[in-house]
Amino acid sequence: MVVWLLPLGVVLAGVALWLSTRRRRTLLQLAAGLALGMVLIRRVGFRLQDEVASLPPTAEGRRAGAAAVEQFLQPLTTFAAWTLTVVGVVAAVAVLTGNYPWVVAVRRAARHLWTRVMATTGKRARDEATVAWIELHRDVLLIGGAIVGLVLLWVADLSWAGLLLVLGLVAAFETAVYRIGARPATPPPAS
């Protein structure tokens, strides 16, 4: 029965979105309901694990009961966590692509900030003094970037997305430093 409920729920959600005249609102309502359901699944699972673990009269029995229930509930709570993550991303995209006045203002401010940052860093990256400094310290910057990345990977408890983000940022930094530092030095002006 449960095997059929998940696909049926996905199909019914698709039908609801297809029939809806306000699809974004419907999508956000479905996301809110799904998020609530996933949170409840996790909470009930944790509560069930505590109650089943307290049933046996001995400490050894309680440990065995807790381990058995954990093995049963762990895939369910993991599924709920991943589903909640996906629902959060979908809801964030739905809200941030909407035409709500506050979202339009946030997008405008973010676009303005991005333009200013890119213009400033672009000018700075072409500045001869900055390029010369990077060329002079290229190896130290490359080693430092790698060390910072390794330390972050070592000490931070990262999800897969966090791991990929850190690796991507380190790769972008290393590539930028290597490319800027590998430019041929401009010849000194003739005197």
Strand runs (DSSP E) across the chain, as ranges? none
Q: What is the pLDDT of residue 190?
A: 58
The 10s digit of each residue's pLDDT in 15-57 is 999 999 989 889 989 999 998 888 888 888 888 888 887 888 8
Any domain includes 187:
no
Same-domain pairing of 80 and 147: no
Domain housing 57: 2-98
Same-domain pairing of 60 and 90: yes
Q: Which of 52, 80, 98 is the last residue of a domain?
A: 98
The burial of 148, by beta-carbon neighbours within 10 Å (0-12 exposed, 13-18 middle, 19 or more buried), is given as middle
Same-domain pairing of 6 and 50: yes
Q: What is the pLDDT of residue 2?
A: 67
Same-domain pairing of 6 and 77: yes
Same-domain pairing of 51 and 92: yes
Of 129, 152, 150, 133, give the one whose Cα is nearest residue 141: 133
* Cα 178 from Cα 181, distance rounded (Å): 5
Domain count, the chain: 2
Q: Which of 98, 132, 147 is the last residue of a domain?
A: 98
Q: Which of 69, 98, 127 is the last residue of a domain?
A: 98
Q: At 184, is the pLDDT very low, low, confident or very high (cuts 50, 70, 90)?
A: low
Any domain includes 18:
yes
> Can you tell me the mean pLDDT for 148-174?
87
pLDDT of 186 above 70: no
The percentage of the chain sitting over the pLDDT mark of 90, rounded to a whole number, equals 12
Any domain includes 130:
yes
Same-domain pairing of 16 and 71: yes
Query: Tokens for 37?
Result: 């359901």
Same-domain pairing of 6 and 94: yes
Any domain includes 190:
no
Q: What is the pLDDT of residue 18?
A: 93
Any domain includes 189:
no
Query: Tokens for 9?
Result: 């729920």
Q: At 134, is the pLDDT very low, low, confident or very high (cuts 50, 70, 90)?
A: confident
Supply the pTM of this predicted model.
0.56
How much is the CA Rg of the chain, to the nearest whole Å?
Answer: 26
pLDDT of 11 above 80: yes
The 10s digit of each residue's pLDDT in 96-129 is 888 888 888 988 988 988 888 777 776 666 778 7
